[in-house]
Amino acid sequence: MKYPDLLQRFEKMTKPPTLAEVRRAVREIRATKGMLLVEGDPDCRSAGSFFKNPILPEADYARLQADAQEPVPRYPAGAERVKTSAAWLIEKAGFTKGTSSGRAAISSKHTLALVNRGGASAAEILALGREIRRRVEELFGVRLIAEPVFLGFDEEF
């Protein structure tokens, strides 16, 4: 277990959690982020995380950190590579939870989830995704990669 939310959840336990406890904790954490299907919750109308966390060469991460006014999230990603937080980049680019563009929006629970507020077309969701990707790349030089598999759409959406 290396996921920070899980580590925090179980940090005071004196023995390792059971598989059932880990499963329950994962589901509870995912529910707080709108990542489970819950009847009547508009933040659950998503494909999950829309962008992957970027993996950067160490030099690119160092440049990003040097330009930042605060610590940039950093996770190990292999030799000379650093994984950083897509959600952090999106938020620092000025997109907040709940930001909407027509019927498409960013979840009010999790910055990585793009949601359909009701009646949005795939084109509307993709347009919001493009705008987020464009601004993050413009401000930070980091190109976000979509996580969902698109059927009938260009890979670059």
Residue 154 pLDDT level (bands cut at 50, 70, 90):
low
Is 99 strand, coil or helix?
A: coil
* Model pLDDT for residues 3-40, shown as the tens digit of each residue: 778 888 898 888 989 999 999 999 888 877 767 777 77
* Model pLDDT for residues 34-71, shown as the tens digit of each residue: 677 777 777 676 767 899 999 999 999 999 999 998 99
Q: What is the reported pTM?
A: 0.78
DSSP state of 104: E
pLDDT at 39 (0 to 100): 77
> How far is 119 from 155, CA to CA, in rounded Å?
23
pLDDT at 3 (0 to 100): 76
pLDDT at 155 (0 to 100): 60
Hey, what domains does the chain have and what are their CATH numbers? 1-32 (no CATH), 41-140 (3.90.78.10)
